[in-house]
Amino acid sequence: MNHAIVPTTESRGFRSVRESGISRPERFALGEALREQVPYERLGNWSASSARFDPIALIAMSHVGRVHDLVGIRVARMATTPYGFLRGSAAVMAADVASLPSTGIHPVICGDAHLGNFGFYRSPEGAQVIDLNDFDEAHPGAWEWDLRRLVASVWVAGRENSYSEQACAASARSCVVEYAAEVGQLATEPLLARSFNRLDVSRLKDSVKQKGLRREIKRAVKDARKRTSDRVLPKLTGDIDGHRRIIAEPPITTSVDEAESAALGAGLDDYLGTLAPHWRRVVAGYTLEDVAHRVVGVGSVGLRAYVVLLVGSSPDDVLFLQLKEARRSVLARFVHGDDAWHQHQGQRVVEYQQALQTVSDPLLGWTTIDGRDYYVRQFRNMKGTVPLNAIREEALSDYAGIVGRLLAKGHARTSGASMIAGYLGDGESAGDALARFARLYADQTEADWAALVAAAKAGKLPISDDAYMSSAFRPG
């Protein structure tokens, strides 16, 4: 791994002119000079060496500490398709990309930047925005790691929809070129100004060329607007002995016993202390009515996750919160070795989400329950995504460009934008190289998926029936 420069991603206080030292043009020049150390063509190489971590062993290792009875569901969701495998195998790809050439520029990165992890949600002032929307693996790391995962997911998703290899290549290149354009533009802006850059849904149509894609985005936005606490109340709950209760639907939604419920209640009390004062008062005005364990996503299955029903001063004034167990990022070992660095993994998720998103859920917070770290967020917050099987072949390049810009926006908010921009230039040559990598890694993903299916059939990994994931394109 080539780490030439590692900009700091943690603020230690104000810097003097003498300490800051390097001007923006000089940073750009440093990035440009990195092309000699890490030529673009090296970005396009991939082959599974003999030293590669065994992907099935890595997946089995990731099951340690999860709820045993749910591991079979996780494997089933990963086994649906190669894209389902990609969604659940962030640990596998982290190990792979960390072994590849890197410029050594380390902003805060998502760590799991696949196509399905971009979507809509509601901003604190009620506007609907689109941005990165999953941060379980967020961590300082090489910007290339995120971009490699994103372009690989573009190619795998394109194949899943039976698109031509030419369309997949064009889409991967579009993703990189638009990433370069966005980071280049933001690198010229003041640090404070770039922190306000965001893409509201109301402006999204201006970024979309394909009429069919505009139609699918409009439909997805409309569906996302229905995903609020009050709209989901009759779907998730029922009246039991005069009390509103979350309906159990094993194995996806299961009840918790009194001891677990009490521990969760105490954890939520501690969570309040991590909120800003106004939002602390708002949430404290609700009463805990019920809590249940609820399986979510693909990669997260088996980690402890709960949905909590809170009731305000009237029966229709409800708020659903979600608590998700947070473990060490899959990137951490490749940045810090065995050192933990982050004392609370829930806090890590929250703070890096706020670093990467222009606006975030105001109810984001963290807590500890029975010795495990959790982060807390709204369960229904107008969240949604464009189903990948609804994106036509001619529109995939358009959408890949949009998410490429969103990824660049997140990276540019933290560190290294000028050097990344200097290295990438117009993105055309890097786009060709990373498109080649995306094709090769799509082949690898399909081979790894086949190995997972074979291991499950041989009884080496548990697998269970899971009708929920009839398609790997469903949002998680």
Instruction: List, for residues 220-269, the tens digit of each pLDDT value.
Output: 989 998 888 888 899 999 988 888 999 999 999 999 999 999 999 999 99
Alpha carbon 167 to chain centroid, angstroms: 25
Asked if the model's pLDDT at residue 471 lies above 80, the reply is no
| Element spanning 245, H or E | strand 243-246
Question: What's the predicted TM-score (pTM) here?
Answer: 0.93
CA distance 241 to 51: 60
pLDDT (tens digit, 9 = 90+) per residue, 356-409?
999 999 999 999 999 999 999 999 889 999 988 889 999 999 999 999 999 999
pLDDT (tens digit, 9 = 90+) per residue, 57-88?
999 999 999 999 999 999 999 999 999 999 99
The per-residue pLDDT for 13 is 57
CA distance 357 to 360: 6
If we measure between CA atoms, which residue out of 79, 76, 88, 81 comes closest to residue 389? 81
Show the 3-state SS of 285-332. Answer: CCEEEEEEEECCCCCCECECEEEEEEECCCCCCEEEEEEEECCCCCCH
Domain ranges in the chain are 28-224+384-469, 229-378
Tell me the pLDDT of the chain averaged across its residues: 91
Peptide bond into 277 cis (omega under 30): no
Asked if the model's pLDDT at residue 207 lies above 80, the reply is no
If we measure between CA atoms, which residue out of 118, 143, 142, 184 comes closest to residue 403? 118
pLDDT (tens digit, 9 = 90+) per residue, 91-136?
999 999 999 999 999 999 999 999 999 999 999 988 889 999 999 9
Angle, to 10 degrees, between the axis of helix 428-457 and the axis of helix 55-62? 70
The per-residue pLDDT for 466 is 56
Question: For 432-457, what is the mean pLDDT?
Answer: 98
**Between vectors from CA 453 to CA 449 and to CA 457, what angle results, nearest 5°?**
170
| Element spanning 370, H or E | none
First-to-last CA distance in the chain? 32
The per-residue pLDDT for 15 is 52
Amino acid occupying residue 224: A
Share of the chain above pLDDT 70, in %: 93
pLDDT (tens digit, 9 = 90+) per residue, 178-200?
999 999 999 999 888 888 888 88
The per-residue pLDDT for 147 is 98
Dihedral (Cα; 267, 111, 106, 415), 10-degree rounding: -70
Beta bridge partners of 373: 368
Beta bridge partners of 305: 324
Question: For 259-283, what is the mean pLDDT?
Answer: 97
CA distance 299 to 291: 22
CA distance 20 to 10: 14
pLDDT (tens digit, 9 = 90+) per residue, 319-360?
999 999 999 999 999 998 887 789 999 999 999 999 999 999
Strand bridging mode 139-140 / 108-109: antiparallel
Q: Do residues 421 and 157 lie in contact, with contact meaning Cβ atoms separated by under 8 Å? A: no
Peptide bond into 251 cis (omega under 30): yes
CA distance 89 to 61: 12
CA distance 223 to 78: 25
Q: Do residues 449 and 56 lie in contact, with contact meaning Cβ atoms separated by under 8 Å? A: no
CA distance 454 to 79: 10
